[in-house]
Amino acid sequence: MAKQLRLTDSFDVRVLRGAAGLWMVSAAASVFLEAVDSNGMSLSRLLEEGAFWHLVSTSLYARAWFVAAVAAMVIVVITYFSYLWWHLLVPLMLAVVGILAPVVVGSVLVGPNHDFGGDAAVIMTALSLSALGCWTNQLFRIVSGEPTSGQLVRRLVLWTVTAMPVALAAEVVIVWFKLAGTSLTGGLAGWLSLVRLVSLLAIWVITFVLWRRSRGDATVAGERAVFCIVSLGAASVAAQVAMTRFLSPQYDVETSLAEIFLGFDLPDSPSLAVLLGQWRPNLLFCAIAVVLMVAYGLGLRRLRHQGDSWPVGRSAAWFAGCLLLIAATSSGFGKYSGADFAVHMGVHMVLNMLVPLLLVLGGAVTLALRVTRAGGPSGPHEWITGLLRSPLARVVYHPLVVFVVFVGSYYALYLTGLFEQMVRSHWTHQLMNLHFLLIGYLYYGLAVGIDKVPHRLPHIARLGFVFAAMPFHAFFGVIIMSTGTIIAAEYYAYLDMSWSTDLLATQRLGGGIAWAGGEIPLLIVVLTLAAQWALSDAREARRKDRHFDTGRDDEFEAYNRMLDRLAERPSTRNSPGRRGDES
């Protein structure tokens, strides 16, 4: 199995390295061009002392392309030293960051409803470019005469058929946002949007036909089909690039201060009725939750077809966690979290404490391993087991690393100026929420997780792991309640909500929520862990009882196993100096 998961200097790796190098050069050039273009300067001004960094610092686009260039450079370096498949996980994450950086700071950051436009742009870009990149690599294989894996092509067709409708729906949201009520045929922005919509739809139609044909054993992705898919993808990307060179209609819409920061107005005060009744979908987290529920449901269906059972409690925990994720980010709580510190802290506690706890109790990794087959060509089962055994997973899941990040994130975010910078933009606010969710999942995976993790702690160590975090949460809440300095004061002053008259009182309420919201879930974890410990001891006792009923003794068998291990060791008399006696 290890050989199947090794990398060689294959065609795919060489294409990856070359594409990353080309990306690095083009992104670096874009840094210079955007720096002068955004400031209305000529390229010659970059030669002046200190001009380059000054111009870059004043241009969001230039800074985004700088991030992309650095990400591409690191990818090139890593691919030269990669020999196992998991070595490419870091380049994959860097590629996501580098690709999305210019997207989130672009035109989707401006105007009313830019929260919808920004989330849709992230979803569309991630799905469409992942599929189109793979099809481009497939075209390179055909042109170079490289052999093609039929199984790989079928997986690619299935991925495109599944992902492209979601990308197309996201593109519809982007078009609605950018056109701001104008017609598709009423201007250049509309026509370019129409090109993108038609291109994505045509790609889905072609791959759907290929998928219908590939339901048999034959591989169906001829040269003509691959060329058409790549050409349509290139047309879509070209239209997207062209739209960055002029202002789309949403720039002309009158925008309030709240819409500049949040994407929408908040005229009503955040009463309980408003928080429960005024919903605004958070497209990114709704999409994540739906994908998690669908994937888990497909796993359950496949497990039933195999004749296996699955605990109802695990399924209930998983789906409850996904629904709670939607409620926390799309209800009035999520809607007002950007304008009210106390509401934000409540959402923070839910995303960092309750949602990860429920998801961890769902045991999704265990379910995935049970429904996927081991052996044969490398597939999901081998990828999951290989990832869990990798040094990268051992670092990410190291108890000390997880504990420090889980606890330290509160202090680093709220007791520095970082929170004010993160809460100003929709995409940074989303990134902050995503961090809460992921680090909470890692923490509870070590504390009460059902899935096997690289560092599986004994029950007594898990209790200590949980108890150690409780005073840090309490102390953080006390700091927030007792401080006289308003966190993100300038940001809340810019918003100037008519119903927000006492920022310090709101902050103290948020500190109380942080205190109670941190302690109560941890107490629930302690009770859950105690129950797991008791059940584990009970199962072990029943196993020993059954063993003793057969007339065997565990201690006697353990003693025999020790003797067997000693007998297998090489005798000290067969030292290197006496090898001649063996011949």
The separation between CA 518 and the C-alpha centre of its own chain, rounded to angstroms, equals: 24
Domain edges within the chain: 1-105, 113-250, 281-567
Name the burial class of residue 264, with classes exposed (0-12), middle (13-18) and buried (19+) by CB atoms within 10 angstroms of its CB: middle
> Which residue from 107, 24, 108 is spatially nearest to 66, judged by alpha carbons?
24
Cβ atoms within 10 Å, residue 447:
26
The per-residue b/e assignment along 372-394, b for 16 or more CB within 10 angstroms, e otherwise, is beeeeeeeebbeebbbbebeebe
Q: Check if CATH label 1.10.1200 holds for domain 113-250.
A: no
d(CA 385, CA 509): 45
d(CA 535, CA 537): 5
How many residues make up the chain in this entry?
Answer: 583
For each of the chain's 583 residues, which pLDDT tens digit applies? 344 466 655 888 888 889 999 999 999 999 999 888 888 887 887 778 778 888 888 888 899 999 999 999 999 999 888 877 778 888 999 999 999 999 999 888 888 999 999 999 999 999 999 999 989 988 888 888 887 777 778 888 889 999 999 999 999 999 999 998 888 888 899 999 999 999 999 999 999 988 887 664 445 567 888 899 999 999 999 999 898 888 889 888 889 999 999 999 999 999 999 999 999 999 999 999 999 999 999 999 999 998 888 999 999 999 999 999 999 999 999 999 999 999 999 999 999 999 999 999 999 999 999 998 776 557 788 888 888 888 888 999 999 999 999 999 999 999 998 999 999 999 999 999 999 999 999 999 998 888 888 888 887 888 888 888 888 888 999 999 998 899 999 999 999 899 998 999 999 999 999 988 877 777 777 787 777 666 665 555 555 555 544 555 555 556 566 666 666 555 444 444 444 443 3
d(CA 432, CA 243): 29
- Which pLDDT belongs to residue 457? 83
Integer distance in angstroms from the first to the last C-alpha of the chain?
36
- Going by C-beta distance under 8 Å and a sequence separation of 6 or more, which residues neighbour residue 225? 206, 210
> Which residue from 265, 245, 246, 244 is spatially nearest to 254, judged by alpha carbons?
265
Place of tokens 């950018």: 178
Contacts 24+ apart (CB under 8 A), 182-191: 182/249, 187/249, 188/246, 189/243, 189/246, 189/248, 189/249
CB 185, CB 191: distance < 8 Å: yes
Three state DSSP letters for 377-396:
CCCHHHHHHHHHCCHHHHHH
- Which pLDDT belongs to residue 576? 42
How much is the pTM? 0.86
- Tokens for 160? 């495109």
- Tokens for 255? 């925008």
d(CA 278, CA 267): 12
- Which pLDDT belongs to residue 450? 86
- Which pLDDT belongs to residue 579? 40
Stated as kind and residue range, the H or E segment containing 451 is none
**Identity (one letter) of the amino acid at 414?**
Y
- Which pLDDT belongs to residue 39? 81
Name the burial class of residue 401, with classes exposed (0-12), middle (13-18) and buried (19+) by CB atoms within 10 angstroms of its CB: middle
Cβ atoms within 10 Å, residue 84:
14
